[in-house]
Amino acid sequence: MAAAVEERTFVRAEARYVRTAPRKAQLVAEQIRGRPVPEARTILAFMTRDAARDVEKVLSSAVANAEANHGLDGDELYVLTATVGAGPTLKRWRARARGRVARIKKRTCHITIALALPEEQAIPAPLPKPAPVVAPVPEPEAEAEAVEEEETPKPKRAPRKKAAEAAQTTEEKPKPKRAPRKKKAEAAETEPKKPTAKRTTKKSSGSTSKTSSRKSKTEDS
């Protein structure tokens, strides 16, 4: 006997280990339970609780599963169930007075949302997955041509001149000779001597007065 295939009546999505307290997320989930998807999205968009952002992500994931896997319209669905379960609690601590320690409990939760069609209609079977695209196998002739192209040697470049050859070519070219510089002695002989001006020393009036006074003294004596 063939096993009876159960008809699915809902599409679900779940978020595990969400970093928020189960009590806070449960208050948000109660507001959207039993409401149509467009109305539930509007309620979550205008809620001021932080847990509303996490519940909205799970709702969007459930709608995406219904549209992609079953070909349904997300606006025609409604929230069948919205449950929040407790997850593991992270233990932390903080310092208190007199060397004591107080415990901090960082709670987590699991959020599950299920969507269904109105009047509990059956959900259609999942859409067939597209066949994987296989890359075309290259023909042996094309492979042989590719191998021949790889084997053909590349044209060799002209060899570069070495440093020694370059130095030889530079040595062969004679440099233009410069005119010899004249030595200092020869230059002094060739240059005409300039006439030197004699310095004239003027006798000061003070010295003449001293000599005249000496002469007068000798004559009196």
Domain ranges across the chain: 11-119
User: Looking at domain 11-119, what is its CATH homologous superfamily?
Assistant: Ribosomal protein L22/L17 (3.90.470.10)
Q: What are the structure tokens assigned to 86, written together?
A: 């407790």
Mean pLDDT of 26-40: 95
* Residue 174 confidence (pLDDT): 65
Taking only the tens place, the pLDDT of each residue in 164-217 is 676 666 666 666 777 777 666 666 666 666 666 556 555 555 555 555 666 666
* Residue 121 confidence (pLDDT): 84
Q: Which residue has the higher pLDDT, 169 or 21?
A: 21
Residue owning tokens 């169930």: 81
* Residue 2 confidence (pLDDT): 43
Mean pLDDT of 63-89: 93
Give SS3 for 115.
strand
| Reported confidence tier of residue 131, pLDDT bands at 50, 70, 90 | confident
Model pTM?
0.57
Positive or negative torsion for Cα 76, 78, 80, 81? positive
Q: Which residue has the higher pLDDT, 14 or 198?
A: 14
| Phi and psi angles of residue 202, each rounded to the nearest 5 degrees, phi first | -90, 130
Q: Which residue has the higher pLDDT, 160 or 61?
A: 61
